[in-house]
Structure 1
Amino acid sequence: METEIPASGRPLTGRRVAVYLLAFFGVVMGVNAFMMTLAIETLPGTVVDSAYRASLAYNHEIAAAQAQATRAWTVAAHVERSSDSRASVRVEARDAKDVPVSGLTVTAWLARPTDRRERPVEIAERGIGVYRGEAADVSSGQWDLVIEAARGGDRVYLSRNRVVLP
């Protein structure tokens, strides 16, 4: 009885099959290790450090939102992006009687919807009830504009708005 020899001229042995299996699984594990490394290095972080502490602050956030609603302020924001990747933000605040709201400490930041890293916007009052600021290194695309206003250390206004910058 004769043993058939494959077209390559070498017989398929147990050692050859073992080498093929080890090479296959070595490539699979190498690619997995590479992809895990990329995923871990590009992970921007967690949304909250402690879900327990965030849940304790939830009732405070509900009360702050209700107080904000009773004030019935109108806050208009406008964002423009220049060709040098700078974004200018203009915020105008008016109370329920349409009177400009002055004397607020306004902070704002731009954040990608899929990323927690933020671009701070340095805001200053430039007129009665008009606040302006700029942020550097803002690329085109979708952003969340978060505006926070405080008076006397207490937050009196908070909003998060999706904007698309060209």
Structure 2
Amino acid sequence: MSEHQITNGKGFTGRHMLFIMLSFFGIIISVNMTMAWYASSSWSGLVVKNAYVASQEFNKKAQAMRAMATSGVSGEFALQDGLIVYGLRDRGGSPAAADEVTAHFRRPVGDQEDFVIRLRKRPDGHFEARHRVLSGDWIVEVISKNEGVTVMHEALRINTAGFVQ
């Protein structure tokens, strides 16, 4: 055999490299498209209606939340047999002054079952409303006001699985 022997095997060619590159990027693109489809079909992505307006209001809301935290007012939420009850207490444990309480029930994902309900004031200072709440996870945002001024604003995450409605 001489030094300049020619072999019949083609070895690794440009076509092999092209096939490897197309396979590699094809897999990446198909995985990304699958993940994008799952993301867009399972969550609306909507956190706020207008992100710019929400960002402009952030400092004002943060200051109001700090003022509420230092006021000593606390709320107590209960849900039993379709009855929503909310108690509002001041630092001393007495019923806090409030004339309006609304509860915003939101699902963590999606907004098809969301609802807002206004609670009526009872003689003992608690607020209540009767409403059927479907089983599952909820974020309940309770806003209490007295003469139009927000006294308490809190968000609670609850799970109603197992509750009788």
Pick from 141, 146, 150: which aligns with 1:151?
146
Deviation at 1:102, TM superposition (A): 7.6
Pick from 2, 8, 23: which aligns with 1:3?
8
Deviation at 1:124, TM superposition (A): 2.8
Are 1:44 and 2:45 an aligned pair? yes
Q: What residue number does 2:105 align with?
A: 110
- For the residue of structure 2 that corresponds to 1:139, the secondary structure is coil
* Count of residues in correspondence between the two structures: 150
Q: TM-score scaled to structure 1, two decimals? A: 0.63
Point out where structure 1 has 5 or more consecutive residues left out of the alignment. Answer: 6-10
Structure 1, residues 129-165: CA drift from partner, whole Å, max 9, x if none?
Answer: 2322355663324x43321111221111223334332
> How far, CA to CA, are the matches of 1:104 and 1:135 in structure 2?
20
Q: How does 1:124-163 map to 2 (within 5 A)?
A: 124-125=119-120, 127-128=122-123, 129-133=125-129, 138-141=134-137, 143-163=138-158
Point out where structure 2 has 5 or more consecutive residues left out of the alignment. Answer: 1-5
* RMSD over aligned Cα atoms: 3.7
- For the residue of structure 2 that corresponds to 1:59, the secondary structure is helix
Q: TM-score scaled to structure 2, two decimals? A: 0.63
Call closer, same or farther: CA 1:123–1:31 in 2, change over 3 Å: same
Q: What residue number does 2:114 align with?
A: 119
> How far, CA to CA, are the matches of 1:126 and 1:37 in structure 2?
46
> How far, CA to CA, are the matches of 1:21 and 1:92 in structure 2?
64
Contact 1:123 / 1:131 at 8 angstroms: preserved in 2? Answer: no
Code of the residue aligned with 1:29 in structure 2: it is I
Residue identity over aligned pairs, in percent, reads 19
Name the structure where strand makes up a greater proportion of residues: 1
